[in-house]
Amino acid sequence: RMIGQGMHGFVGNDHTKFENLDEELAFAAFHSISAFCNAGFSTLSGNLGNPMVMTNHNWLFVSVSFLIILGGIGFPILVNFKDIVLYHLRHFWRFIRTRKLERHKVHHLYNLNIVLIMTFLLLVIGTLAIAAFEWNASFAGMPVADKWTQAFFNATCPRTAGFSSVDLASLSVQTLLVYLVLMWIGGGAQSTAGGVK
């Protein structure tokens, strides 16, 4: 729905508008897979820094960021998330049928993983650092919501995703150092991301 409404008619790498919904869905599917696999390939000229998506498409950048994060935390954690959801659905269905609450809980599903903690910390610290360094530099002239979105997106991508939304040559030395640290750390073990894991 976001693709059909928010991105209708925007320009691709051949500088033509999408002709139909199929082309828009193909664009969405390609970029979703590219984001989850931490590949960073885009069909747009200038990657996601294409002028047609840089403004008024914050949901695109947020969606791509969360797909990158999901691909980068590792498949064991994704399986654990699936187990948690299924456990609660079964629990809820049993309550609907019997009207009885079960007291027994499976605590091992809630073990906090170092990957989740580090992912959260790296995203928060990276977002704040990039926002501070680029607020009046490469993010100058953007609305405040766009600045925060771009800071979050640019804190997510260096962990081996490969997407870019701003010209890397325009970034400050401090931001490039943040990039280097995030790229070196990378994503979680058994994930689609690289780095030292």
CB 123 within 8 A of CB 70: no
Q: Give the pLDDT score at 74.
A: 85
Q: Give the pLDDT score at 108.
A: 62
Angle at the Cα of 112 from the Cα atoms of 180 and 123, rounded to 5 degrees: 25
Would you state the structure tokens that stand for residue 40, as one six-digit string?
Answer: 């960073």
Q: Give the pLDDT score at 152.
A: 97
Alpha-carbon distance values, 32 to 23, 63, 184 (Å): 14, 8, 24
Nearest Cα to Cα of residue 131 among 180, 172, 182, 187: 172
**Burial of 130 from C-beta contacts in 10 A (0-12 / 13-18 / 19+):** buried
Q: Give the pLDDT score at 151.
A: 96
Report how far residue 92's alpha carbon sits from residue 95's, in angstroms, rounded to the nearest whole number. 5
Report how far residue 26's alpha carbon sits from residue 49's, in angstroms, rounded to the nearest whole number. 19
**Burial of 178 from C-beta contacts in 10 A (0-12 / 13-18 / 19+):** buried
Q: Give the pLDDT score at 106.
A: 62
Q: Give the pLDDT score at 178.
A: 95
Q: Give the pLDDT score at 17.
A: 59
Residuewise pLDDT in 10s, the chain (197 residues): 344 334 444 444 444 456 788 888 998 899 999 999 988 888 888 888 887 777 778 999 999 999 999 998 888 888 888 888 888 888 888 888 887 777 666 666 556 678 888 899 999 999 999 999 999 999 988 999 999 999 999 999 998 788 889 888 899 999 999 999 999 888 887 888 777 65
Instruction: Give DSSP secondary structure letters for 32-83.
Output: HHHHHTT----SSTTGGG-HHHHSS-HHHHHHHHHHHHHHHS-HHHHHHHHH
Compute the radius of gyration of the chain from its Cα atoms. Answer: 19
Q: Give the pLDDT score at 179.
A: 93
Q: Give the pLDDT score at 127.
A: 97
